[in-house]
Amino acid sequence: MRELRGVEIVDTFAEAFDMRAARVVITAASESWARTAAQSMTGFATSVIGCKVEAGIEAMLSPEDTPDGRPGVSVLMFAFNAEGLGSRLVDRVGQTVLTCATTACFDGLRDSADRVVVGGLLRHFGDKFQSSKYLDGRRYWRIPVMEGEFLIEESFGMQKAIGGGNLLILGKDQASALAAAEAAVEVMRQVRGVILPFPGGIVRAGSKVGAKRYKSMIASTNDAYCPTLRGHIGVESALPESVNSVLEIVIDGLDRAAVQEAMRVGLDAACRPGVVQITAGNYGGKLGKHHFKLHDLLGPA
C-alpha cells in the first residue's frame, strides 16, 4: 500500500478510451461575452452517454493569443467519431456562438489535416448575403447578422484524443470529499489540453456499464461506491467502513501526456484531511486501451 499525506492510494488504474476532439477558439468584444458564448456552447455536454458529446472550457485567452486580437476562450469538444463530432460542432456553434453578441469563431487545431466543414455550412444562414475571404491560405466566412457580422472559419481540425481518465475521491463525509474534489479541480483546470466535462468538474453520480435490473440501461449507478448501499443484498461494496461520500473527476484530453499530468496534479491536491482513499474506475482493461496507473502518478516509492 502507498500513501500520500495519510491518504491511501489504491494500486489500480483509470481506464480511458479513444475519442476524437476539436478545439474551438471563440473571441468577442469582451472576456465576459467570450465566456458567455463558451458556457452556452458547452452546456449539456457532460457525457457521450446522454449528450452525444463532451465539452468544456480549456482556457481563457488573452488578446495576444487569439487570431483577431480580442479576448477569447478555448473550448474542447470530444465525441466517439468524426461524424458525430462534426455534427455537434455545427449545431453548437450555430446555436450558441453565431447567436451570441460580438463573437467570432476560429479553428484551434490549425495544423490538423483531418478537417470538418463548419463555417462552410453555417454560411447558409446568411441567405446568400454572406461573403468569403482568404487569409494566409485559409477561408473565412462573413455572415451578416442584425448586430453586424459573424466571422467564422470554413473548416475546423480534428484529432485523435482520449476520454474517460478519472479519479475517485473517498471521503469520511460529504464536506471532506467535496473540499478535496474542489482543490483537485482548481489545479487540474490549469493544465492545457484537458477538460473536466461534468458540472463544476465533479461527478456525484458515477456510473457502471449497463444495469443489473433494467437491461435496457446503457449505464446505471455505481452501486459498489454508493455509501447508502453498503450492506445491501446484492451489492459488493468497495468502500472502507469510514467512507461516507465519494466524488469522481473525469478527464478528457488531447493526448496521453495532458491527461496524465491533470491526474497527477489532481491526485496530489486531493490528498487532504478527511480523505480516506483515492482510487480510479476501470473495467479490467476491457473498455479502453489507455491505462493510467495511480502509483505511477506518485513517482518512485
**Same CATH fold, 19-159 and 2-15+162-298?**
yes
- In the prediction, which pLDDT does 300 show? 85
The domain spans of the chain are 2-15+162-298, 19-159
Q: Which CATH architecture has domain 2-15+162-298?
A: 2-Layer Sandwich (3.30)
Find residue 168's DSSP bridge partners.
248, 279
From CA 12, how far away is CA 9, in angstroms rounded? 9
- In the prediction, which pLDDT does 261 show? 98
From CA 67, how far away is CA 19, in angstroms rounded? 27
- In the prediction, which pLDDT does 233 show? 87
> Whole-structure pTM over 0.85, yes or no?
yes
pLDDT along the chain (301 residues), means of 10: 95 97 98 98 96 98 98 98 97 98 98 96 98 94 98 98 98 98 98 98 94 90 95 92 98 98 98 98 87 95 75
CATH domain 19-159 topology: Alpha-Beta Plaits (3.30.70)
State the helix-helix crossing angle for 174-188 and 256-270, rounded to 10 degrees: 140
